[in-house]
Amino acid sequence: MEELATRWDLRIVRGENGYRCNWLEDLDDDHAQIFETVFEEEEGEHGEVEAFQRLLYFITEHFGMIGSKHDARRIRITTGGEDEDLG
C-alpha cells in the first residue's frame, strides 16, 4: 500500500462487497497510525446504495464538511426512488 501523507488523505478501495477507507493520523510529533474502516454491503435489494451512502457520510465527516442544520449552505446526502424507505 502506498503511504498516506496526512490525515487529509483518504484512500478508498472498492471491494467485492463494499468499500474500505484508510487514512493516516499523527498521534504525536514522532508517531502516526494508519486507521481503516469498512462499509460492507448488506444483503438485500438496496445494500449497495446503503453502503455507498454510509461511505459518503463518512467522507463528509472525515473532511469536516458535515455542517449544521443552521448553516446557510451545507452538504446533504439523500437517496430516493420508487422505494422512498431508502433514507
Q: Where are the domains of the chain?
A: 11-86
The DSSP symbol for 30 reads: S
Quote the pLDDT of residue 67. 84
Cell 463528509 sits at which residue? 60
For residues 19 and 12, is the Cβ–Cβ distance under 8 A? Answer: yes
Mean pLDDT of the region 1-13: 70
The mean pLDDT of 76-80, rounded to a whole number, is: 88
Q: Which long-range contacts (CB under 8 A, 24 or more apart) does 43-48 make?
A: 45/83, 46/79, 46/83, 46/86
pTM assigned to the model: 0.76
Rounded Cα distance between 75 and 47, Å, is 22
Mind listing the pLDDT tens digit for each residue in 8-67? 789 999 999 999 999 988 888 888 899 999 999 999 899 999 999 999 999 999 988 888
